[in-house]
Chains A and B, each alone.
Chain A
Amino acid sequence: MSEPSHFKLDGEDIPCRPGQTVMQAAQAAGRYIPHLCWHPDFAPHGSCKICVVKADGRTVAACTFEARPGMQVENRTPEMDDHRRRLLNMLFVEGNHFCPSCEKSGNCTLQATAYELGMANFHFDHFFPDRPVDASHPDVMLDFNRCIQCELCVRASRDVDGKQIFALAGRGIRSHLIVNSASGRLADSNFAVSDRAASVCPVGVILKKRVGFAIPIGSRRYDAAPISAEAQPSPPPAQGERP
């Protein structure tokens, strides 16, 4: 393999290979670019826009934008973080997020990202949408109130589980997650708690039953260290391997 090329991320040299996105290159180098809908195991989706960066003066989503040698990328600048805080505000007010009573609190990527970015209030008025809960399945419940439409469950069920259990339906602000069954209920689908989709939700929509609060709030994933501390350099994947 030839010497890797580099681009600048907030002034630091980051190695990049052809075909690698800004997000992938940053992740491999142990640098944190805030994100919600991106996950290293799945194809990039580019919908949450939390990963916006400024690449050579143009605002782009780091998860879909290809890293090019010599490029100057602004990541944790006041301007980008300001955009991110506003986008987080939007995600909070369009759903119903009551962190203190949420089982996911402390393990929630949305909450952890909001702490990371110092989001101190909701800024906009709440929408308070009416979203029913689906507790029909014996092992898993769905609380749609917290859905941020990242489609990670859609991708996991389709690409890993081969089941296509989840999809988004509707348009605009009425866009919402649906379940692939005639009744629309999870119990009537072939969903299983062992599915990858059961453990991919970054927020508290897909919750496993009977394990709630097993780990007390205060001892959870993001209680010990902020989400940005999780980024660690990783060895580059072998050539030809799908990153």
Chain B
Amino acid sequence: MSSATLESILDRHARQGVRLMQILRETQEALGWLPPEALGEIARATGLTRAAVESTANFYSFFHTRPLGHYRVLWSDNITDRMLGNQALMQALCKALWLQPGRVSEDGLVSVDTTSCTGMCDQGPAVLVNYRTVTNMNLDRVQAMAALIRARVPVAEWPEEWFQIADNIRRAGLLLDCPLAPGAALAAGLARGGAGLLDEIRTAGLRGRGGAGFSTAQKWQSCRDARSPAADGARYVVCNADEGEPGTFKDRVLLTRCPDLVFEGMTLAGLAVGARRGFLYLRGEYRYLLDALEAVLARRRAAGLLGASIAGSNFAFDIEIHLGAGAYVCGEESALIESLEGKPGKPRIRPPFPVTSGYLNCPTTVNNVETLASACLIAAHGGAWFARSGTKVSTGSKILSVSGDCAHPGIYEYPFGVSVQQVLEDCGAQRTLAVQVSGPSGVLLAPDEFERRIAFEDVPSAGAFMVFDETRDMFEVARNFAHFFAHESCGFCTPCRVGTAINARFMDKIAAGHGSRDDLEQIFRMHRLMQATSHCGLGQTAANPIFDTLRKFRPSYDRRIESLHFEPAFDLDAALSRARRMTGRDDPAAHLTNEHQP
């Protein structure tokens, strides 16, 4: 890369260390990777230490400090992608390109690997090619893709239909059904004023849609009341669009269909808490949305709905989009703020909570995309109107991202209180064995629980609804989730850093037919330990899927367990696998045993 390119990137971000994530991303987009000289140059220009720059560059999955090929193909590896056959397709692509997964080709042309759920569960198997999303992969597309890569055709010239992403809205409700003219809610909000708006949010009973269900009015009030250490009394609004929970894709659709609702919700939040700046933290997997969203922001600025004097008032507010780079943990609000500041996404010690000490230690409210969109509706129609939908303690609507074994995967918006059974009927699910609500960190429901309701008082949900029918093996579902958490643990605290890795090993050991009763007992103990001692929600919930499947689908484990007592993890036959690979042998005589698979 010419140093002029890097200079212009650095200039565009005013050489600010807090903009490190965007500087790294744009540098990598220009260069294909982050070479040591570029990291050194960025450190010098921003005044950060080189170690600090490396620390951030090494933390995020989508930054690479070594070349990974002109073409980088990442297969979304959520369980729903697996159920749609992504593993065989990835193998086929690797075979066509003479590659091993995770390795760069000898000529430096291409690498193929897996990545955590990319939020395309209703149209998988999905891949990211140089961080552009391709959906509906099949064998034809794999062969065509291999040919395009071998012919070195730039990704920009690949068939356009590969990059098409469907919204798949199957059922619309309050949010998806409610067209509001841009500025309408804002005018109503400005007429009420910040305190009046807060009253409406309180009347509405709005609770956070990210899963925890914290009262939005209380969060905004705390942020409004907190003392800012900044000379100008700065406060911040952050929209959490780091939709990383596997199986969740409703924020993607909200940002595609109703970006004005979301941005206007952020602006109203700014009015309520007294902030002048907002950030949309968009997950790296949704890079393709960036240009369209920037265009919406530009349009809103031109219309006087953002900027120095909004709708002719003395209220000023503007929004910046911050793109993530592949780290699930950044969905945790304090980790997200660290990431906004250009650092690795490691959750902070709480208290203090972000509402008192968030971005740059100023009061910051972090709200989910759906929460802010709902706030916008409340500003326009009033809190009482909103509270008429849903249940008494879970007001309004909930958007579910339905995927897995059903006829019509996609987006379903219901008033809170809908039963799991109702959703299953509407999406055309048959002979359902289990539903994973709210993703791996949520809860797994068995058929005797399908009468339960999606609501904060019963089954809370951040939006994921993954359906598994009777042909599925729930052990493999849990094993996929165990590897997901091991990959996404930030590594800050001992129980999560090591515990998630040990859990993944336990599950692999059981899968290889070497599990014992003792291992199952260890898993229960690990669940209790991680739940009690982990630093944040990731570690506290990471063992949930294993725990739930062990409790509710025990036979899927038992049939893999041969030994009643202890079995060592060391597998002599597996230890020979490297020798087999080197000699190209896989015949029975090259194995110590051939009775591995259950």
Which residues from chain A sit less than 8 Å from chain B, CB to CB? 44, 46-50, 52, 59, 61, 64, 83, 86-87, 90-91, 93-94, 124-125, 127, 148-149, 164-175, 178-182
B residues 533-547 touching A (CB-CB < 8 Å): 533-535
- Report whether B55 and A125 are in contact in the complex, using a CB–CB cutoff of 8 Å: no
Is the Cβ of B486 less than 8 Å from the Cβ of A172?
A: yes
Does the CB pair B491–A173 fall under 8 Å?
yes
Task: Report the separation of the CA atoms of residues A167 and B39 in the bound assembly, to the nearest whole angstrom.
Answer: 15
A174 to B504, CA, bound (A): 14
CA distance A127 to B486 in the complex (A): 14
Contact check: which of A46, A125, A175, A179 meets B491 at CB < 8 Å?
A175
What residues on B are CB-neighbors of A171 within 8 Å? 58-61, 327, 344, 488-491
Indicate if the CB atoms of A83 and B532 lie closer than 8 Å: yes
Q: Which of B45-63 contact A (CB under 8 A)?
A: 49-52, 54-55, 57-61
**CB neighbours of B499 from chain A (8 A):** 90
Interface pair B525/A86, CB less than 8 Å apart: yes
Question: Is B529 within 8 A of A86, CB to CB?
Answer: yes
Residues of B within 8 A of A (CB): 36, 40, 49-52, 54-55, 57-61, 327, 344, 349, 486-495, 497-502, 505, 525-526, 529, 532-535, 568-570
Alpha-carbon distance between A44 and B52 when the two chains are bound, in angstroms: 20
Given contacts A90-B498, A170-B491, contact A179 B51 (CB under 8 A): yes
With contacts A87-B495, A149-B491 taken as known, whether A172 is within 8 angstroms of B501 at the C-beta atoms is yes
CA separation between A46 and B344, bound complex, in Å?
17
CB contacts (< 8 Å) of B50 on chain A: these are 180-182
Q: Tell me the smallest distance from the CB of B497 to a CB of chain A, in Å.
A: 6
Q: How far is the CA of A235 from the CA of B492 in the complex (A)?
A: 33
Whether the pair A173, B525 counts as a contact (CB closer than 8 A) is: no
A172 and B490 in contact, given A83-B529, A164-B51, A178-B55 (Cβ under 8 angstroms): yes
Asked if A170 and B494 make an inter-chain contact with CB atoms under 8 angstroms apart, the answer reads: no
Contact B497 A175 (CB under 8 A): yes
Write out the residue numbers on chain B whose beta carbons fall within 8 Å of the beta carbon of A86: 525-526, 529
Is there an interface contact between A49 and B495, defined as CB atoms closer than 8 Å? Answer: yes
A52 CB contact (under 8 Å) in B54, B349, B489, B532 = B532
CB of A94 within 8 A of CB of B52, answer no
Bound together, the chains give a CA A86 to CA B494 distance in angstroms of 10
**10 tightest A-B CB contacts, nearest first:** A175-B491, A180-B51, A90-B498, A167-B51, A169-B58, A172-B489, A59-B532, A173-B501, A125-B569, A167-B55
Contact A172 B535 (CB under 8 A): no
Point out the residues of chain A lying under 8 angstroms from B490, CB to CB. 171-172, 175
- Residues of chain A within 8 A (CB-CB) of B486 are 172-173
**Nearest chain B CB to A114's CB is how many angstroms away?**
13
* Contact call A168/B489, Cβ cutoff below 8 A: no
Nearest CB of chain A from residue B565's CB, rounded to whole Å? 16
* Listed residue (A86, A165, A182) with the most chain B CB atoms within 10 angstroms of its CB: A86
Contacts of A149 in B (CB 8 A): 491, 497
- A94, closest chain B residue (CB): B498
Complex: how many Å from CA A165 to CA B51?
8
Other-chain contact of A94, B49, B57, B501, B525 (Cβ < 8 Å): B501
Give CA–CA (A127, B59) in the complex, Å: 21
Tell whether, in the assembled complex, residue A83 and residue B492 are in contact, meaning their CB atoms are under 8 Å apart. Answer: no
Bound Cα distance A50, B499 (Å): 14
Chain A residues with CB under 8 Å of B495's CB are 49, 87, 90
* A171 to B116 CA separation, bound complex (whole angstroms): 14
- In contact, A168 and B491 (Cβ under 8 angstroms): yes
**Nearest Cβ in chain B — how far from A81, in angstroms?**
12
When the two chains form their complex, are residues A169 and B54 in contact, meaning their CB atoms are under 8 A apart? yes
Contact A172 B487 (CB under 8 A): yes
| Complex interface: chain A residues within 8 A of B569 (CB) | 125
Residue in A closest to B59 when the chains form the complex, CB atoms: A171
B494 touches A172 (CB 8 A): no
A182 to B36, Cβ gap below 8 A? yes
**Residue pair B498, A169 in contact (C-beta under 8 Å):** no
**Chain A residues, CB < 8 A from B52:** 164, 167, 180
Residue of B nearest to A154 (CB): B51
A170 touching B59 in the complex, CB below 8 Å, given contacts A91-B498, A164-B51: yes
Q: Min CB distance, A229 to chain B, in Å? A: 25
In whole Å, how far is B483's beta carbon from the nearest beta carbon of chain A?
Answer: 11
| A170 B51 Cβ-Cβ under 8 A | no
Q: Which residues of chain B have C-beta atoms less than 8 A from A179's C-beta?
A: 51
Find out whether the CB atom of B49 lies under 8 angstroms from the CB atom of A164: yes
The residues of B that contact A181 with a CB separation of less than 8 Å are: 50
Residues of B within 8 A of A182 (CB): 36, 40, 50
Closest chain-B Cβ to A175's Cβ sits at a distance in Å of 3
Pairwise interchain contact B49-A124, C-beta atoms closer than 8 A: no
Q: Which residues of B contact A90 (CB under 8 A)?
A: 494-495, 497-499, 502
Residue of A49, A83, A164 most packed against chain B (CB within 10 A): A49
Which residue of A has the minimal Cβ distance to B50?
A180
Bound CA–CA A179/B501 (angstroms): 25
CB-CB under 8 A for A172 and B491, given A49-B533, A83-B533, A167-B49: yes
> Considering the chains assembled together, what is the distance between the CA atoms of A64 and B352 in angstroms?
11
A127: B residues at CB distance < 8 A: 501
Best-surrounded residue of B494, B497, B501 (most CB of chain A within 10 A):
B494
New contact pairs (7) apart from A90-B498, A173-B500, CB-CB < 8 Å: A49-B493, A86-B526, A91-B494, A124-B502, A149-B491, A172-B489, A175-B497
Return the chain B residue nearest A92 by Cβ.
B498
The distance from the CB of A122 to the nearest CB of chain B, in whole angstroms, is 12
CA distance A46 to B536 in the complex (A): 11
Given contacts A173-B489, A179-B51, A180-B51, contact A48 B349 (CB under 8 A): no
